[in-house]
Amino acid sequence: MGIIIPMVLALFIWREMPTTMQWIGIAISMCAIALININPLDLKTERIGKSLLLFFIIGGLGDFFNKLFEMVVGAVYKDLFLVVIFASALVASLYKSIHIKKSEKLSIVFGLAVGIPNLLTAFFLINALSKLNATVVFPLYSGGAIVLSMLWSVVAFKEKLKWKKIVGIVLMLFALVLFNL
């Protein structure tokens, strides 16, 4: 749900107004994301923790910085931006891994295996933000990641999807159609 932060900021700062159909698509995608991720029973028994709230804010601002970069600097320099960001993360991770005595080489391999898709995600996100409104890109980005993750778990791990996740996937696909009208 952290996509709300960059969407609202883009809406107010750059006045990126979606079309009527895109507004409907945004509403449907937000409902789909909530349907897939939120269990109403959990809301009654648990409080939202400070760390979850902090993650919501930091994650949302992190996504917003991609849009800020695209607006202030331009997508032309995205390669340099991504190299600096991900090289810094790599150096910091390697430094930390070297100084931990029990650091396993396999964890470094997994770190690279996660880092490369994250790099590609940021690359395509900045490209999308240079062509479409952030109010459209972020729901697609979040909903698409959720749908792909669920479909991957069905294919790779033979997970059975519950009805509300199937409805969420159908809603996200319907929202995708509305975004393109």
pLDDT tens digits for the chain (181 residues)? 678 889 889 999 999 888 899 899 989 988 998 888 877 666 555 555 677 778 888 988 988 988 898 888 887 888 998 999 899 988 888 888 777 766 677 877 888 888 898 899 889 998 999 898 998 899 888 888 888 899 999 999 999 999 999 999 999 989 888 887 7
Identify the sign of the CA torsion 88, 132, 3, 30: negative
Could you give the count of Cα atoms lying within 13 Å of 46 in the half-sphere of its Cβ? Answer: 10
Are 97 and 108 in contact by the 8 Å Cβ rule? The answer is yes
Number of H helices, E strands in the chain: 8, 0
Q: What is the CB neighbour count within 10 angstroms for residue 160? A: 7
Contact partners, residue 93, CB within 8 Å, separation at least 6 = 108, 111
Residue for token pair 């939120």: 38
Q: CA 181 to CA 177: how far, in whole Å?
A: 7
Query: What is the pTM (predicted TM-score) of this model?
Result: 0.78
Are 134 and 4 in contact by the 8 Å Cβ rule? The answer is no
Q: Return the biggest CA–CA distance within the chain.
A: 57
Look at residues 137, 154, 181, 167 and name the one whose alpha carbon lies nearest to residue 32: 167
Q: CA 141 to CA 121: how far, in whole Å?
A: 9
